[in-house]
Amino acid sequence: MTHSSIMRAMQDRVLLLDGAMGTQIFAYKPTVDDYGGPDFEGCVELLNELRGTWIQSIHETYFKAGSDAVETNTFGCNPLVLAEFGLEHRAFDLNVQAVKIAREVADSFQEKRWVIGSVGPGTKLLTLLQVDYQVLYQSYLVQMQGLISGGADALLIETAQDLGQIKVAVRAARQAMKLLKKSVPIWVQITIESN
């Protein structure tokens, strides 16, 4: 894999990533109308489309505070999670849109800034037998393809607690890169709980 600009930068210095996206979104106190109706209430990924200026502002605020990179508003933007709102068919497009929002803000700064594709654990885990391998893999594959197609500089599989889920997500990311003929770094961030 060729070294990306963000990986080269990390060899020279520590890079600062943004903070929580959800906390900043909820500071806007989104209403049912902001989500597009009661069927979609709580789907923060849909705000990329309906309240894109909020997401832009959040990215801009983090960059101005000193972040070198921001994460996309795509923590739950895979078909499995979006299916809870009847939006599974929108997963690819919402991921592309989220990257483009972040990229536009990043490119508005004179200094080099990066966009990291956020991939959360979802709501169904392999170890608890809530989902099977192939369904989870296909769901992640759609999300990874959207993030890479949109132009993410790296993929961050974050807040992961299930090693099986991590393996599936990494395999989906590698397959997405193979299909799109584009390589980006894959990072994993693990959350450890006492129980």
- Alpha carbon distances (Å) from 56 to 59, 61, 71, 178: 5, 9, 12, 30
- Flag whether 84 is in a domain: yes
Q: In this predicted model, what pLDDT tens digit does every residue of 92-102 receive, in sequence order?
A: 999 999 999 99
β-strand partners of 157: 119, 188
CATH number of the domain at 116, please.
3.20.20.330
Grade residue 18 by pLDDT with cuts at 50, 70 and 90. very high
Position 2 pLDDT exceeds 50: no
Nearest alpha-carbon partner for 137 in 164, 96, 172: 172
- Flag whether 195 is in a domain: no
State the pLDDT at residue 137: 98
Give me the domain span that covers residue 123: 5-190
Q: In this predicted model, what pLDDT tens digit does every residue of 131-151 receive, in sequence order?
A: 999 999 999 999 999 999 999
Helix-then-strand count for the chain, H and E: 9, 4
| Helix, strand or coil, per DSSP, at residue 124 | coil
Grade residue 28 by pLDDT with cuts at 50, 70 and 90. very high
Domain count within the chain: 1
In the chain, the largest separation of any two C-alpha atoms, in whole Å, equals 48
For the chain, give the mean pLDDT: 95
CA distance 187 to 170: 9
- Flag whether 10 is in a domain: yes
Q: What integer is the mean pLDDT of 108-128? A: 94
- Flag whether 168 is in a domain: yes
- Flag whether 124 is in a domain: yes
* 165 contacts: CB under 8 Å, gap ≥ 6: 121, 122, 125, 126, 127, 136
Residue 131 near residue 164, CB atoms below 8 Å: no
State the pLDDT at residue 3: 61
CA distance 86 to 144: 20
With both helix axes pointing from N to C terminus, report the angle between 163-180 and 133-150 in degrees, rounded to the nearest 10.
Answer: 50
Pairing of β 186-190 and β 69-71:
unpaired
CA distance 150 to 80: 20
